[in-house]
Amino acid sequence: MRQMLVKSVVSMVFLMAMAALLTVPAPAMAASKMAVVNVESAVRDCKAGKKAIATLEGKKKEIEAEFNQMRKKIESLREELEKTAMVLKQEAKLAKQMELQRLARKFQERQRDARREFQEAEQLHMSPILRRMVQLIRQIGQDSGYDIIQDARTTVYFKTSADITAKVVAAYDKKYPK
């Protein structure tokens, strides 16, 4: 029992010493030149990103219009079935129910396909921008003498003067004017 208590006290002292060491800033880190950039925002705000987003919004509207048309057709058939269910023969009623189920399955399949198509379109349009953006951020880091450039979204605290997102967007638009 006494031996376990000694081990736990030694472990506690060791952990406290490690915690104290970790809270002392390293001299090398104090002299580091650091910056942050919101990569997502930079991709979205550059001219190429805005153009890609507009293209994706257009595709999204087309898909939504198609879905609205399919929903209306399903709802119309459902209402027709509800109104005529009592007067239809069993065979006709069953045929309409099967048609309704077929349309509902087709709608769900189209939703899955549309999600996949949209993800592929997003990848097609946004990935090249992101890839070039990351290369440009590295180049800015090297040219400006930064030791570290972190994504602002994963940084707990930073001074606004450390945010170079606007600089990155301007450099991207200058380098890739399309």
- Digit-coded pLDDT (tens) for 113-130: 999 999 999 999 999 999
The domain of 47 spans: 2-175
What mean pLDDT do residues 147-163 have? 93
Residue type, 51: K
Q: Give me the pLDDT at residue 19, please.
A: 42
Alpha carbons within 13 A on the beta-carbon side of 63: 18
- Asked if the model's pLDDT at residue 176 lies above 90, the reply is yes
Q: How many CB atoms lie within 10 A of CB 19?
A: 9
Q: Give me the pLDDT at residue 124, please.
A: 96
What mean pLDDT do residues 142-148 have? 95
User: d(Cα 11, Cα 60) in Å, to the nearest integer?
Assistant: 58
pLDDT tens digits for 78-103?
999 888 888 888 998 899 899 999 99
Q: Give me the pLDDT at residue 39, please.
A: 96
User: d(Cα 82, Cα 72) in Å, to the nearest integer?
Assistant: 15
- Asked if the model's pLDDT at residue 9 lies above 80, the reply is no
Q: Give me the pLDDT at residue 167, please.
A: 97
Number of domains in the chain: 1
